[in-house]
Amino acid sequence: MKDPTSFDGITTPVGDYAYEVETQQLSMEQVRANPSFSRPVQLYDKWCALPGTIPHHNTITPSLIGAEILSEMYILDVLTRPDNYEPGNNGLDNDDDMPWDFRWRLFGTTHSERYGKEATGVLLSDAATHDKSAAGSFEVAQHVMKTHEAAFFLTKFCENGAIHKTTSTVVMPLADDNGAVCRLFGCSAWSKF
């Protein structure tokens, strides 16, 4: 049986089962003290070592990332919402202050296995309308676009107040040839309790 965590827009949930989801953004001090963030911190440190205030998207290669992180990685293309976009149509709170959308360019195999389907090509806003963890990711992606800084967050999947699993995630910006943020990338490490 597949894991019941799912994006309704990406896969059909198993039965009617769904976890309660809580997303929390963490400081660098909290992240470095939490062992579940070891791979996201490794990726962040590699990103920090790259040239440029915001590294160029072409600097992200499989050999740079390393095999231990690659399957947990994701890359999102940054999209500007169309002029005719009407806030509130996607079911997200306060989305009138979210001028960007994102499309998965890469959805690591760990995530594809967890959700039971490849999400490459899916809009993050579409997934966010059906899944609270994707909604949290969508809000963090907006934050990274506004600040142009990396962000770490912990997502807890709970049932009756008990944590069943978590994801420890980092999101970082990447620039195009003109220095504008054109992609976001990072990784999410899954922990099961």
CA-nearest of 117, 134, 116 to 125 is 134
Kindly compute the dihedral angle of the four CA atoms of residues 66, 7, 98, 189, in this order, to the nearest 10 degrees.
-30
Query: Which of 28-37, 114-123, 146-155, 181-190 has the weakest average pLDDT?
Result: 114-123
DSSP secondary structure string for all residues of 148-159: -S-EEEEEEEEE
Structure tokens at 156: 């807890």
The fraction of the chain above a pLDDT of 90, given in percent, is: 52
In this prediction, residue 5 carries a pLDDT of: 47
In this prediction, residue 108 carries a pLDDT of: 84
Higher pLDDT, 58 or 118: 58
What's the CA gap between 16 and 3, in Å, rounded? Answer: 13
Instruction: Give the model confidence (pLDDT) of 152-190 as tens digits.
Output: 999 998 888 888 888 999 999 999 999 999 999 999 998
Longest dimension (CA), the chain: 49
How far, in Å, are 19, 25, 104, 154, 175 from residue 193 at the CA level?
A: 14, 20, 28, 14, 37
DSSP state of 134: H
What's the CA gap between 114 and 107, in Å, rounded? Answer: 11
Domain at 20-80+98-192, CATH homologous superfamily: PAS domain (3.30.450.20)
pTM exceeds 0.95: no
E strands, the chain, in order: 20-26, 73-80, 100-107, 151-159, 162-175, 181-192
In this prediction, residue 160 carries a pLDDT of: 83
Query: Which of 16-20, 37-41, 52-56, 122-126 has the weakest average pLDDT?
Result: 16-20
Cβ distance 99 to 80 under 8 Å? yes
